[in-house]
């Protein structure tokens, strides 16, 4: 809120008049649910909440030039304010190997919409804003000169200029239109693997009503992780979660709720299981045991993350999707995975955690969840890319 007032003097005057002790008292008289909705709206960013942890990984991984260690007391605030994925200048990485790679140098440019100038103050310096204003003024002057030289539109131009001059004293100047540059770092693969369900509250909001805002955020927001997301990146998943475990101040320390999602297809694996024909030649090259061991390993990694990094965790919801096989094959796989999960988390935390498991077993000819279809398609791509020699 303080940042907004600095950007717009007229808005600052209005806000200063409005925010009085009496007004604040009236605001606190609102129902708690209404206040929390207001806090959520004030915390929104121009990018999805799933990018918040990606920004943190970019920062601790050295992809942001001014990477700093995040203080534990302001972990969430630092992520939301300084870990923006929109800062094109700060997210440049001087790595010759990445510059030679087209994949790592791929950059997406999206023009910011109206009203983004206030939210982008952390990403751009005052000097950049002044230069942008000067450039915009020069462009406006050139356009005005060209339009004035047009005899056919001279009358319309005069009326438009008169209207704009009359409104200029009442309305604040529009914010400069900055391009939003998103850096495609290797951590872009984490989007979809895990993320936060809501935006963390900004620092200005925490300074106003810290305890209530933090309590509202951590009581509703949850950390989600897709155990089978990016299954082809066998070691990437483990390396990324290890960063959270090794960080001195992890952004997951205060998380209270978590969702674990598992999308699997036992039917596909069994249909492509490694077999041989009558002549002894391999018919398919999928080793089901290795695939299932990969799944169990990932579940163990997630459980290790919970045990080491999430002391405040109180609620876990596991969503398990699978295309079932006969003779309780899918149920036995799930039971073995959950047993390994509890062995890693620790039996001493069982009483502290509220665990809910929601299982969905699809029939082979039944319409499946899109994520289950996606894992089958990923298996197909991995098998075809290996020319029948995968696993």
The total number of residues written for the chain in this structure? 391
The percentage of residues in the chain with a pLDDT greater than 70, rounded to a whole number, is 55
Where does 46-192 have alpha helices with state H?
51-60, 75-82, 96-100, 116-119, 126-148, 154-168
Q: What is the mean pLDDT of residues 76-94?
A: 40
Cβ density class 154-189: b for 16+ within 10 Å, e for less: eeeeeeeeeeeeeeeeeeeeebbebebbbbebbbbb
Please report, in angstroms and rounded to a whole number, the separation of the first and last CA atoms in the chain: 55
Q: What is the mean pLDDT of residues 328-333?
A: 91
Contact 357, 301 (CB under 8 A): no
Please say if the pLDDT value at position 93 is more than 70: no
- The backbone torsions φ and ψ at residue 46, rounded to the nearest 5 degrees and listed phi first, read -85, 0
Task: Determine the 3-state secondary structure of 349 from DSSP.
Answer: helix
Tens of pLDDT, residue by residue over 11-66, are 333 333 345 555 556 666 677 677 777 767 766 776 667 777 887 788 877 655 43
323/268 Cα distance (integer angstroms): 8
Q: What is the per-residue pLDDT for 173?
A: 52
Tens of pLDDT, residue by residue over 152-206, are 444 544 444 444 444 444 545 554 544 444 456 677 777 888 888 887 887 777 7
Q: What is the per-residue pLDDT for 91?
A: 40
Please say if the pLDDT value at position 110 is more than 90: no
**Rounded to 5°, angle at Cα 231 from 104 and 63:** 30
Give the pair of three-digit tokens for residue 258. 């978590």
373/210 Cα distance (integer angstroms): 43
Q: What is the per-residue pLDDT for 60?
A: 77
Q: What is the mean pLDDT of residues 67-74?
A: 36
Q: Which of 103-117, 130-144, 246-260 has the lowest mean pLDDT?
A: 103-117
Eight-class DSSP state of 360: E
Widest CA span in the chain: 90
The percentage of residues in the chain with a pLDDT greater than 90, rounded to a whole number, is 19
83/162 Cα distance (integer angstroms): 43
């Amino acid at each position: 809120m303080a940042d907004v007032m600095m950007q717009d003097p007229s808005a600052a005057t209005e806000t200063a008049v409005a925010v009085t002790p009496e007004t604040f008292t009236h605001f606190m008289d609102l129902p708690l649910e209404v206040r929390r909705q207001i806090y959520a709206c004030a915390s929104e960013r121009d990018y999805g909440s799933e990018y918040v942890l990606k920004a943190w990984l970019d920062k601790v991984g050295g992809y942001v030039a001014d990477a700093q260690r995040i203080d534990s007391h302001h972990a969430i605030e630092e992520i939301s304010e300084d870990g923006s994925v929109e800062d094109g200048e700060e997210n440049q990485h001087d790595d010759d190997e990445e510059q030679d790679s087209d994949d790592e140098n791929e950059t997406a440019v999206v023009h910011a919409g109206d009203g983004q100038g206030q939210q982008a103050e952390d990403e751009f310096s005052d000097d950049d804003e002044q230069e942008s204003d000067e450039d915009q003024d020069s462009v406006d002057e050139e356009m005005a000169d060209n339009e004035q030289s047009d005899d056919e539109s001279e009358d319309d131009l005069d009326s438009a200029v008169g209207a704009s001059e009359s409104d200029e004293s009442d309305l604040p100047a529009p914010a400069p239109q900055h391009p939003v540059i998103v850096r495609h770092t290797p951590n872009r693969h984490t989007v979809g693997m895990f993320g936060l369900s809501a935006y963390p509250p900004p620092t200005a909001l925490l300074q106003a009503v810290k305890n209530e805002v933090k309590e509202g955020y951590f009581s509703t927001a949850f950390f989600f992780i897709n155990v089978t997301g990016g299954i082809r990146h066998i070691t990437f998943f483990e390396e990324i979660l290890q960063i959270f475990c090794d960080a001195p101040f992890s952004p997951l320390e205060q998380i209270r709720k978590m969702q674990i999602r598992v999308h699997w297809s036992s039917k596909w694996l069994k249909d492509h299981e490694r077999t041989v024909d009558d002549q002894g030649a391999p018919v398919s090259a999928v080793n089901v045991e290795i695939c299932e061991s990969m799944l169990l390993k990932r579940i163990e990694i997630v459980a290790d993350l919970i045990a080491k990094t999430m002391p405040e965790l109180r609620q876990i919801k596991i969503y398990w999707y699978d295309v079932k096989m006969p003779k309780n094959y899918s149920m036995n796989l799930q039971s073995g995975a959950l047993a390994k999960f509890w062995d890693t988390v620790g039996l001493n935390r069982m009483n502290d955690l509220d665990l809910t498991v929601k299982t969905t077993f699809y029939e082979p000819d039944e319409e499946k969840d899109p994520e289950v279809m996606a894992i089958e398609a990923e298996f197909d791509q991995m098998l075809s890319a290996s020319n029948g020699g995968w696993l």
